[in-house]
Amino acid sequence: MSAAATWHDVECGAYAADLPLWEELADEAGGPVLDLGCGTGRVTLYLARRGHTVLGLDRDPELLAALRERAAGMPAEAELGDAANFALGAEFGLALAPMQLLQLLAPEQRASCLRRVASYLRAGGLAALAIVDELPPGEAEAGSPPLPDAREIDGWVYSSLPVESRLDDGAIVIRRLRQTISPGGDLSEELDEVRLRRLDAGTVEREGRAAGLRPAGRREIPATADHVGSTAVLLERGDA
């Protein structure tokens, strides 16, 4: 497995707070599900195991290779593509953008993503887009960090520790210390940084209207001991 897929599994694979909501929406949709920014398949495989037909879209071929291997025999496929500009050969009853995918995109990319989603939703189809409005109180201040996300693979230990979350120039900046320990005990480490553009549900709803999608409610995804809560903004494609 590639380094990119390994770190994706370590840092994202254990997160499950949003899965009940995605399953509920998929059950209601009654049709294929599009999982944007699917990575190694955290959401795609969860839904496929429950009988839903899912197409995972991601721009990283190494992550998709891991998903395809894991999806053997399931009603799941993986497609290489950019969430801001993709072309597919099917319509969907539900499109998901988990884990703040929209906040990784620049405003013009986000608008393009919403237009593409609208074009591939069938009439009455739903988009569910997870965002974090703000850092929770005290999150931007120094404090006791959570335990690291860690995993052992073939004798190698991978650890990812959140060391800082702060607001900076219109973005939520999250820094992690990635450490790798070889079977022989050698340690290597690096800092990884993710910038999430600040975005609120009202803005997503306004941009959704411009893309041809109408607001269809908001659902809260609860916080966990290691993850902040988030809001799933729901947008619906009207009748053609």
pLDDT above 50: residue 22: yes
CB 176, CB 163: distance < 8 Å = yes
DSSP-derived letter for residue 86 is -
89 alpha-carbon distance from chain centroid: 22
- Which CATH code fits 149-196? 2.20.25
What does pTM read for this prediction?
0.92
Do the domains at 3-133+199-237 and 149-196 have one common CATH topology? no
Greatest pairwise CA separation for the chain in angstroms: 61
Query: Using CA of residue 124, residue 128, residue 133, residue 138, what is the dihedral sign?
Result: positive
pLDDT score at 143: 47
Cα dihedral sign, 204-207-209-212: negative
Residues 101-156 pLDDT 10s: 999 999 999 999 999 999 999 999 999 999 997 665 444 444 455 778 999 999 99
The H-or-E segment that residue 42 falls in is helix 42-49
53-89 pLDDT, tens per residue? 999 999 999 999 999 999 999 999 999 999 999 999 9
Rounded Cα distance, 52 and 46, in Å: 9
Structure tokens at 68: 């395809």
- Measured CA to CA, the distance from residue 230 to residue 58 in angstroms comes to 22
Give the fold, CATH level 3, of 3-133+199-237. Rossmann fold (3.40.50)
CB 122 within 8 A of CB 152: no
The residue extents of the domains of the chain are: 3-133+199-237, 149-196
